[in-house]
Chain A
């Protein structure tokens, strides 16, 4: 059992997710177990979409992280709703617009990082301030609801399994293939291990970085549109919790913060764990303060138990 866990930290995350789920339904005596899982799968899916984008960015190497995600999600949700304008025929256009906005954010981030040589943490943080302001003034008083068909599809489930979750699992599988078997994915992993060596090995370092930040932005845009559909409306604060959770699920899932080593399955495990953890705490009826405290302690605990990379 230990050998199974040692080489595969992401197994931990799934095991932990199962544990909290069992704890929660144990408390309720088994009622609502199915509903809990269904809701968790949907909410986790949203985290996975941006988590995978964040995973690619983090894998680029130490210091690479996208802090503009929440602002991105907020703005994209507003753009999606505006473009869709409540009509199902415009759903595709709205999604496209949201993804395009996200791509724009990603490109802007990269522009700051590259042209102005600002560290990614600061660059994406500064960008998020600006995007937030754009969203505030653009989305002022926005009351547009998502088109009915769109909202229904986003929330659709069959036998308790949300379509969104199924789609996201497929997406994750695709992402894993891209990461390990395409030139782009391998380049990201190489750059994260040793940027100079990657350059000398003939890899197009800057082009790959550009694509990675754009990808992360685009996924943020997509998530914004989907979230607006699920929660029936755009909102500046729609993405706030995804800042920390997008990073947390990536790391809990076994991706190295130092870069160069990524794990896609673990993103799902981490997302399920985080969502079910919150569900469990809500079930126990704990106060906000205790909830935050326990969430934090458990995150620290999980990471400590998994341990970091063995010293070179």
Chain B
């Protein structure tokens, strides 16, 4: 008997049909991987499953009985969800945040019990995590916060966790930690728990899932055992571009070009970026890449444009339209022409492929990946010679990525300089050169054939006596 069944679930937001009749079954003791383009409906589906959204049509059954879920009800039924936007309170400690999830932890000694609860789980999933329950969440790096949030989802008191939904759980984790998580998922699933895993890293989905479901345009296109899928097949079913064509490593003779950026790397290696170059910043997440980008931004002023990776806190202006969001970097006086602004936005909509009906709509009507495209357009539409990118492809679907890679290459050919911080080593294939960061300093400078995942990892972990 399946644990959860979704029958023809529908959900619309105004004119946008997010879910178009989804049928899905989740059995106990299995990990279901869900993949799809941005806008395929994955996050909406998860919200429905976690009780945060009520479907407009269709039915949701838990243990065979039809249910109308609310967040509290879903939790009571054992459904836990780790969303892409973290659900921790930064002003509370790790233990207090754990209590937030468990109302039954109260009365005398609650803090100790909550701390025990989260510490046990952290030790189990992420050995060597270095987090204590009395740490204030605001003090933790984003990777550690994600670890806390994931571990918290697996904690149990009176209520058992029967289904854990993980929406892009490894986006802020480095390779080792991500591996620990996936290993734990397999263990938990072997113990009878169900898991739903959404990830754009196809390798993770293929290794960790029992069944893989491909979604497109608000419905399930195909569901099959993981063994029946391979990378190319997944991409093809998603409707994305299946080619690996853009992967030929760029070989450019750029020695003669004028230098645009020159910054100290903190470890004796200087960062140099020339006109028309795409320079990658690699290494483990949170090792100084963003700090360097911000330093470049501060140093170059109006010559540089910034593409944020954390849309919500660094990029999007929620009250504005798509056109206004795109045009904000290129505003010039004395009076701004709304007509010209809209025209520019339309041009970029076509060029970068933003899926929307009208650029005068609110930016919030766009899905996450399309919002990211709008942020790219903002930087590219400006007159900045240098574009600084702060891991902007985080949580973005494969098709969008390919479109943007193409655009970056084209812009570089026309003379723009790109400084590109990325946490996915294969993205470095799009760069001319790469600097590897470790502990806040540049420790390696790779070029051409050297820019492989192995070399990056090697430099990231080079032992120091």
Q: Are A197 and B317 in contact (CB under 8 A)?
A: yes
**Nearest-CB distance from B389 to chain A (Å)?**
12
Q: Are A202 and B315 in contact (CB under 8 A)?
A: no
Asked if A312 and B318 make an inter-chain contact with CB atoms under 8 angstroms apart, the answer reads: yes
Chain B residues 104 to 161 lying within 8 A of chain A, measured CB to CB, are: none
Convert B282-302 into 0s and 1s, putting 1 for each residue whose CB lies closer than 8 angstroms to a CB of A: 000000000000000100001
Cα A197 to Cα B316 with chains together (Å): 7
Q: Is B314 an interface residue (CB 8 A)?
A: yes
Query: Do the beta carbons of B315 and A261 come within 8 Å of each other?
Result: no
Chain B nearest Cβ from A197, distance in angstroms: 5
Does the CB pair A261–B319 fall under 8 Å? yes
| Contact (Cβ within 8 A) B319 A193 | yes
Interface readout for B318-330 with A: 1 if CB under 8 Å, 0 if not? 1110001000110
User: In the complex, what residues of A have CB within 8 A of residue B297's CB?
Assistant: 200
CB closest chain-A residue, reference B364: A312
Chain B nearest CB from A201 CB (Å) reads 5
CB proximity of B299 to chain A, nearest CB, Å: 14
Q: A196-B314, A197-B308 are in contact. Are A183 and B331 (CB under 8 A)?
A: yes
Q: Determine if B332 is an interface residue (Cβ-Cβ < 8 Å).
A: yes
B356 at the A interface (CB under 8 A)? no
Whole-angstrom distance between the alpha carbons of A312 and B316 in the complex?
Answer: 14
Please determine whether A193 and B329 come into contact, CB atoms closer than 8 angstroms.
no
- Counting residue pairs across A and B whose Cβ atoms lie within 8 Å, the total is 64
* Those of B330-346 within 8 Å (CB) of chain A: 331-336, 338
> Which residues of the partner chain B approach A186 to less than 8 Å between Cβ atoms?
324, 328, 331, 336
Which A residues are CB-close (under 8 A) to B334?
A: 182
Which residues between 182 and 200 of chain A lie within 8 Å of chain B, taking CB atoms? 182-183, 186-187, 189-190, 193-194, 196-198, 200
Roughly how many angstroms separate A186 CA and B335 CA in the complex, as a whole number? Answer: 11
Among candidates B333, B338, B378, B384, residue contacting A183 with C-beta atoms closer than 8 Å: B333
Q: Give A94 Cβ to nearest chain B Cβ, in Å.
A: 30
Residues of chain A within 8 A (CB-CB) of B332 are: 183
A144-185, CB under 8 A of B: which get 1 and which 0?
000000000000000000000000000000000100011100
| B305 touches A (CB below 8 Å) | yes
The residues of B that contact A182 with a CB separation of less than 8 Å are 333-336
Looking at the complex, which one of A177, A183, A193, A202 makes contact with B317 (CB distance below 8 Å)?
A193
Known contacts: A193-B317, A260-B317. The answer to whether A202 contacts B336 by CB under 8 A is no
Do A181 and B314 have beta carbons less than 8 Å apart?
no
Residues of B within 8 A of A250 (CB): none
Asked if B319 and A202 make an inter-chain contact with CB atoms under 8 angstroms apart, the answer reads: no
Q: Does A203 contact B (CB under 8 A)?
A: yes
Known A183-B336, A186-B331, A196-B313: A260·B306 in contact at CB below 8 Å: no
Any chain A CB within 8 A of the CB of B382? yes
- The distance from the CB of B253 to the nearest CB of chain A, in whole angstroms, is 32
Closest residue of chain A to B315, judged by CB? A197
Contacts of B333 on A, CB cut-off 8 Å?
182-183
Give the interface centre of A183, A187, A198, A200 by most chain B CB atoms within 10 Å.
A200
Which of these, A200, A202, A260, contacts B382 with CB under 8 Å? A202
Contact A201–B335 (Cβ < 8 Å): no
Q: Which residues of B contact A183 (CB under 8 A)?
A: 331-333, 336
How many angstroms from the CA of A192 to the CA of B382 in the assembled complex?
22
| Interfacial chain A residues near B378, Cβ < 8 Å | 201
CB distance from A195 to the nearest CB of B (A): 10
Number of interface residues of B (CB under 8 A): 26
Q: Give the complex CA separation of A177 and B316 in angstroms.
A: 23
Chain A residues near B317 (CB-CB < 8 A):
189-190, 193-194, 197-198, 260
Q: Bound state CA distance, A171 and B249, in angstroms? A: 59
- B320: chain A residues within 8 A (beta carbon): 189-190, 193
The chain A residue sitting closest to B333, CB to CB, is A183
- Taking CB atoms, residues of chain B closer than 8 Å to A189 are 317, 319-320
Interface centre among B319, B333, B378 (most CB of A within 10 A): B319
Residues on the B chain within 8 Å of A203, using CB: 328
Most buried by A among B314, B316, B317, B334: B317
Residues of B contacting A260 in the complex (Cβ-Cβ under 8 angstroms):
317-319
Report Cα–Cα, A261/B324, bound state, in Å.
13
**Inside 8 A of A197's CB, which chain B residues have their CB?**
308, 313-317
B residues less than 8 Å from A201 (CB atoms) = 306, 328-329, 378
Do residues A181 and B319 form an inter-chain contact, with CB atoms below 8 A?
no
A186 CA / B329 CA spacing, docked (Å) = 11
A200 and B314 form a contact (CB under 8 A): yes
Instruction: Decide: B314 and A202 in contact? CB cutoff 8 A.
Output: no
> Chain A, 59-80, contact with B by CB distance < 8 Å: what is the 0/1 string?
0000000000000000000000
Residue of B nearest to A185 (CB): B336
The CA of A197 and the CA of B331, in the complex, are separated in Å by 15
For the complex, give the distance between the alpha carbons of A202 and B314 in Å: 12
User: In this complex, what residue of B is CB-closest to A258?
Assistant: B319
| B324 surroundings in chain A (CB, below 8 A) | 186
- CB pair A200–B328 under 8 Å, yes or no, is no
CB distance from A177 to the nearest CB of B (A): 7
A202 CA to B336 CA in the complex, in Å? Answer: 16
Specify which chain B residues have a CB less than 8 angstroms from the CB of A177 in the assembled complex.
Answer: 335
Could you tell me the distance in whole angstroms from the C-beta of B459 to the nearest C-beta in chain A? 28
- Chain B residues with CB under 8 A of A202: 302, 305-306, 329, 382, 384
Query: CA separation between A312 and B52, bound complex, in Å?
Result: 13
Given the contacts A186-B331, A193-B320, A200 and B306 also touching, CB distance less than 8 Å? yes
* Closest Cβ neighbor of B390 among chain A residues: A200
Contact indicator A181/B315 (Cβ below 8 Å): no
The interface residues of chain B lying within 8 Å CB-to-CB of A198 are: 317, 328
Q: How far is the CA of A187 from the CA of B332 in the complex (A)?
A: 11
Chain B residues closer than 8 Å to A187, beta-carbon distance: 331
Q: Give the shortest distance, in Å, between B336 (CB) and chain A (any CB).
A: 5
Q: What is the CA–CA distance of A262 and B335 in the complex, to the nearest angstrom? A: 18
Note all chain B residues with C-beta closer than 8 A to A261. Answer: 319
Min distance, Cβ A261 to any Cβ of chain B, angstroms: 5
Residue-wise interface mask of A (129-146) relative to B, using a CB-CB cutoff of 8 A (1 in contact, 0 not): 000000000000000000
What 10 additional pairs, Cβ within 8 angstroms, besides A186-B328, A202-B302?
A: A177-B335, A183-B336, A189-B320, A193-B317, A194-B313, A194-B318, A200-B315, A202-B384, A260-B319, A261-B319
Instruction: Please list the 5 inter-chain residue pairs (A to B) with the smallest Cβ-Cβ separation, ordered nearest first.
Output: A200-B306, A193-B317, A183-B331, A181-B335, A260-B319
28 A-B pairs within 8 Å (CB atoms) are namely: A181-B335, A181-B338, A183-B331, A183-B336, A186-B328, A186-B331, A186-B336, A187-B331, A189-B317, A189-B319, A190-B320, A190-B328, A193-B317, A193-B318, A193-B319, A194-B313, A194-B314, A194-B315, A194-B317, A194-B318, A200-B297, A200-B306, A200-B308, A201-B306, A201-B378, A202-B302, A202-B306, A203-B328
| Residues of chain A whose beta carbon lies under 8 Å from any beta carbon of chain B | 177, 181-183, 186-187, 189-190, 193-194, 196-198, 200-203, 260-261, 312
